[in-house]
Amino acid sequence: MTIRPILRYPDARLSQPCHPIETFDAALASLCDDLLQTMRAAPGVGITAAHIGELSRISVIHLSADAPVLVHINPQILSASQERQRHTEGSVSMPGFTEEVERPLAIRFRYQDLTGHPHEAEADGFLATCVQHEIDQLDGIFWLKRLSRLKRDRLVRKWEKHSSL
């Protein structure tokens, strides 16, 4: 297990769609372990392979010490509720910067586990937000794109000022 360097916004790789995983082997399991260790060190509650420059459809989510670690390979949203919610979001690629994002309250999604076995699951509340956030990243949609132009521009200016220090 290795803590990997995390790409920083505005690295172009954070805006590229990730490729599906086709090989389920020890190298995949090792990459997922690295993602978990990297996320914990960041710290964060979710990370994708894209955050470390690996453009593969892998996300790891760990909401709290008493929650299970969720590894989603090739995740896709199947459906989303009409009801919406707001949560504060950020990114391990933009540490210390957050903003409120509105997303569907509940989702149904499919993914594969580390052996390639397919699953379908439902999520609501904060978990639904995290799954949507990470799938967005896998689709090349950095979370800032979910903000209004005004909020996004303001946050980017603050980030650029912070990053230049």
Q: Give catalytic residue positions.
A: 134
Asked if omega into 43 is within 30° of 0 (cis), the reply is: yes
Q: Residue 147 — φ and ψ, nearest 5°? A: -95, 160
CA–CA distance, 53 with 6 (Å, rounded to integer): 8
CA–CA distance, 56 with 58 (Å, rounded to integer): 6
CA–CA distance, 32 with 34 (Å, rounded to integer): 5
How many DSSP H helices and E strands does the chain contain?
3, 7
